[in-house]
Structure 1
Amino acid sequence: MRVSVSVLLLHVHGLPKLLHWSVEVQRIEDPFNLGGTLTLGLAVFAEVICPVLLILGVWARLACLPILAVLAVAVLFVYPQWSVEQGQFAWLLIILFAGLALTGPGPFVLGRSLRHH
């Protein structure tokens, strides 16, 4: 589950932001007035770096926290008018990443492989 949900977040949200930085920095929602560059940087960290860490199983529980923060900002501050139906993808991701944060990465992780060699 951690790999599939991380690949989904990376593919749908993270990589498009990273690959189209100059366009995304102009259009990203900035609910806390941090500036487009910082806001996009935080989003890319949460949607690119953290999913990669999760895929590898490295610092998995910790890597869920920035993802959950970005998702919470999206549903609570950027799109508060969304109904549950409109925000179902975000809510589903919140449920999945919260579950991963609580349960951990499972038995197949890079960290354990490196410790045994």
Structure 2
Amino acid sequence: MTKNLPFLSVPQIDLGLLFLRVSGAFMLFHVHGWPKIMHYSEELVRIEDPFGFGTSFSLLAAIFAEVICAILIALGLLTRLASLPVICVLLVSMLIVHTQWSIAEGQFGWLLMIIFGSIALCGPGKFSLDAVLQRKRVA
């Protein structure tokens, strides 16, 4: 049966990590990152500034995590490193900015934290640019 379906011979953990990376990065980019770019002025007025660095800094930090890092994660490039700003932005959002939210109200944020925490712990898998670069370094 695997002769007819060659993708079944691929280690399933690597397919799972690819799916996790691409789907998680897409959701982060589509739901959070892209709207911040498209509506920058409106977001600048609405975004919280929990550390007093200014709303511009807060918004640019969120855009960096939700756009640049999301793209890097989807590509599997600098994956573990790119996961850290995403996790930081999510932690600030969930533990400092939205402390009044119940788990149900913040479930999307918590699920994103689980996804990107898993990616940071497990790495990108073999279907990633990180793996390609690693193979080139070894060869």
- Equivalent of 1:71 in 64, 67, 90: 90
Partner of 2:61: 42
The alpha carbon displacement at 1:18 in A equals: 1.1
Q: Retained in 1: the 8 A contact 2:49–2:58?
A: yes
Partner of 1:28: 47
Within 1, Cα distance between the matches of 2:69 and 2:98? 23
The alpha carbon displacement at 1:112 in A equals: 3.7
Structure 2 length normalisation: TM-score?
0.79
Partner of 2:37: 18
Higher relative contact order, chain-length normalized (CA < 8 Å, sep 6+): 2
In terms of Rg, which structure is larger? Answer: 2
Within 1, Cα distance between the matches of 2:119 and 2:70? 12
1:100 paired with 2:125, answer: no
Partner of 1:59: 78
1:110 paired with 2:129, answer: yes
The alpha carbon displacement at 1:113 in A equals: 3.7
The alpha carbon displacement at 1:32 in A equals: 1.1
Runs of 4+ in 1 over 4 A off after TM superposition: none
Q: Map 1:80-99 onto structure 2 (within 5 A).
A: 80-99=99-118
Percent of residue pairs bearing the same amino acid type: 53
What RMSD in Å do the two structures reach over aligned CA positions? 1.5
**What runs of 5+ residues in structure 1 fail to find an aligned partner?**
none
Q: Match of 1:32, SS? A: coil
Within 2, Cα distance between the matches of 1:40 and 1:70? 10
Within 2, Cα distance between the matches of 1:85 and 1:72? 16
